Amino acid sequence: MLTKKTMKALNGQINAEIYSAYLYYSMSAYFESVSLPGFAHWMNMQAQEEMFHATKFVGYVNERGGRVILDAIDKPPFEWGSTLKVVEEVLKHEQKVTGLINGLVDLANKEHDHASGIFLQWFVLEQVEEEASVGAVLGKLKLINNDSSGMFTLDQEMGQRVFTPPTK
């Protein structure tokens, strides 16, 4: 059974994961509007991944006898001005999510909730992967430095991403 404090925090994380998906769908639409379909596809895959995370949290709360209570989702931005600014914002957002996950781990430890601590380890590792992945894209963008042929090639590469939900 989840404590009230843990259940409230997990519900907050569900909201944060859904907002992440909403933000990434907005970024996908932005990339479509500036003729970068590969980046749009990459952000669409990111959004699907965030919804998978939200679903995983919902399942866990229900499995532990908690109650999922969804909150309103804030309106995401829709204009960034450049591809570099979008990807910088993605990294910043992923770092924020990492902080939220770390806070949940800290709470699980404080509440002596070992099951939640174990559950959250998957997300800790996922955030390491997310930050590294986005960091790599950001590094490539900085190397390209507005070179149109490099951007064209990177856009094609970004369009190859596939999201396959993990089995566990």
Q: Is the pLDDT of residue 158 over 70?
A: yes
CB 70 within 8 A of CB 14: yes
The CATH number given to whatever domain includes residue 22 is 1.20.1260.10
Q: Is the pLDDT of residue 167 over 80?
A: no
Domain assignment present for 168: no
Total domain count, the chain: 1
pLDDT of residue 89: 98
Which tens digit of pLDDT belongs to each residue from 108-146? Answer: 999 999 999 999 999 999 999 999 999 999 999 999 987
Domain assignment present for 94: yes
Domain assignment present for 137: yes
Domain assignment present for 128: yes
Domain assignment present for 166: no
**Buried b / exposed e across 151-165, counting CB within 10 Å, b at 16+?**
beebbeebeebeeee
- Among 102, 97, 99, 95, residue whose Cα is nearest residue 120: 102
Q: Is the pLDDT of residue 168 over 70?
A: no
Domain assignment present for 148: yes
What is the distance, to the nearest Å, from the Cα of residue 14 to the centroid of all Cα atoms in its chain?
A: 11
Q: Kindly state the DSSP code that residue 75 receives in the 8-state scheme.
A: P
Mean pLDDT on 12-29: 98
pLDDT of residue 52: 96
**Global pTM value:** 0.94
Domain assignment present for 165: no
Helix axes 37-63, 114-144, angle to 10 degrees: 170
CA atoms of 88 and 97, how far apart (whole Å): 14
CA atoms of 22 and 158, how far apart (whole Å): 19
pLDDT of residue 69: 96
pLDDT category at 31 given cuts 50, 70, 90 is very high
pLDDT of residue 140: 96
Q: Kindly state the DSSP code that residue 51 receives in the 8-state scheme.
A: H
CA atoms of 80 and 78, how far apart (whole Å): 7
CA atoms of 163 and 49, how far apart (whole Å): 7
Q: Is the pLDDT of residue 85 over 70?
A: yes
Domain assignment present for 134: yes
| Structural domain of 91 | 4-158
